[in-house]
Amino acid sequence: MTPEQKAVLAHVVTDPDAWYSHAVSALGEKRAFAALAEKVARWTADYEAARRDLGDAYKTRAERDAEGINPLG
Amino acid sequence: MPFNGAGTFVPPSSTFNPAVPATDIDASDWNALLADLATGLSTTITKDGQTTPTANIPLGGFKLTGVGSPSTSGDALIYGTTAANAVLINSGKPCFLAYNGSSQANQTGSGAGAAPAFGTEVFDRGSNFSSGIFTAPVTGIYRLTSNVLLSLLSSTMVLQVINMNTSNQVFTSQQEFVPAGTGTLALKIDVLADMDAGDMASVSVQLSGGAGNTASIFGQAASPRYTFFCGELVA
């Protein structure tokens, strides 16, 4: 996974490495590689728009989730 | 060889093909031509249904138009079909159903998350479900549904949560219910999730307020199913 792919993936999922590792495990390396490319292609525009709109305030999915309200504390 | 394999009819070369003025036609050549014409015409599809194709028919991107409404199994589906007996059975569509065939003791109660095992599969078309996790084989919209029966709740476990954890987002159903004594409680969640190929979906539950993880996730081998997880690709 390239740093660019990882950055886009981190915009959507909480743990890019875990996502890819699971995809390889479930789909096999070839299909997982294609799924990664497809997912990155699908979310790149959304990621770039968020980076452009939010600038330094941009947060990854994990950072956004960490700021969410947890009713269980 | 009336047709050349690419759809072109090629009449046999003979004493009159090409024709020469004032030249007699050889009888055997004439008969060979008639035989070729007969074979060629018999290879074509007749409009009154006398012939049946013997191979797939490539349409090159063109449509069949004016097709009648399907009325029985094996009929072609048409765009916009609403015939009552037009049943579409897609055996290739990803879908699964799994349940807890036994209980998982002391799983939750103190606020920690617990994952139902869903260890018994009823069906799993495409083999996309394993160890409580569904992995989307293709990008699409998936309906994901789960019911989890919690047992041995104490009266202090007053906040109950069930999560549908998908790669792109987490869906949560939360309620505050005060169990009476060692009660039971069913947590349910039903979502339409936007999933990319390779994304995973799993279920987790949390109970808060207890002194420890003393509540159980109920399951049993016999029907009815109390704790289950099912899903399908819908669009």
B86 pLDDT tier (thresholds 50, 70, 90): low
Give the HSE-up count for residue B217: Cα atoms under 13 Å, Cβ half-sphere.
27
What mean pLDDT is reported for chain B?
Answer: 91
Q: Is the pLDDT reported for residue B50 higher than 70? A: yes
Q: What is the 3-class SS of chain A, one letter each residue?
A: CCHHHHHHHHHHCCCHHHHHHHHHHHHCHHHHHHHHHHHHHHHHHHHHHHHHHHHHHCCCHHHHHHCCCCCCC
Q: In the prediction, which pLDDT does B12 show? A: 82
Nearest beta carbon to residue B167 from set A19, A32, A71 = A19
Q: Is the pLDDT reported for residue B24 higher than 70? A: yes
Q: In the prediction, which pLDDT does B83 show? A: 58
**Number of residues that make up chain B:** 235
Q: In the prediction, which pLDDT does B20 show? A: 85
Q: 3-class DSSP state for residue B186?
A: strand
Nearest beta carbon to residue B197 from set A20, A35, A72 = A35
Per-residue pLDDT of chain A (73 residues; tens, 9 = 90+): 999 999 999 999 999 999 999 999 999 999 999 999 999 999 999 999 999 999 999 999 999 989 876 555 4
CB contact (8 A) between residue B197 and residue A26? no
Tell me what ipTM this predicted complex has: 0.89
Give the HSE-up count for residue B42: Cα atoms under 13 Å, Cβ half-sphere.
8
Q: Which residues on chain A place their C-beta less than 8 Å from a C-beta of chain B? A: 12-13, 19-20, 22-23, 26-27, 31-32, 34-36, 38-39, 42, 65, 71-73
Higher pLDDT: B73 or A4? It is A4
CB contact (8 A) between residue B208 and residue A73? yes
Which pair of tokens denotes residue B201?
A: 């979906």
Q: What is the 3-class SS of B36-74, one letter each residue?
A: HHHHHHHHCCCCCCCCCCCCCCCCCCCCCCCCCCCCCCC
CB contact (8 A) between residue B161 and residue A72? yes
Q: How many other C-beta atoms lie within 10 A of the C-beta of residue B160?
A: 25
| Minimum Cα–Cα distance from A21: chain B residue | B198
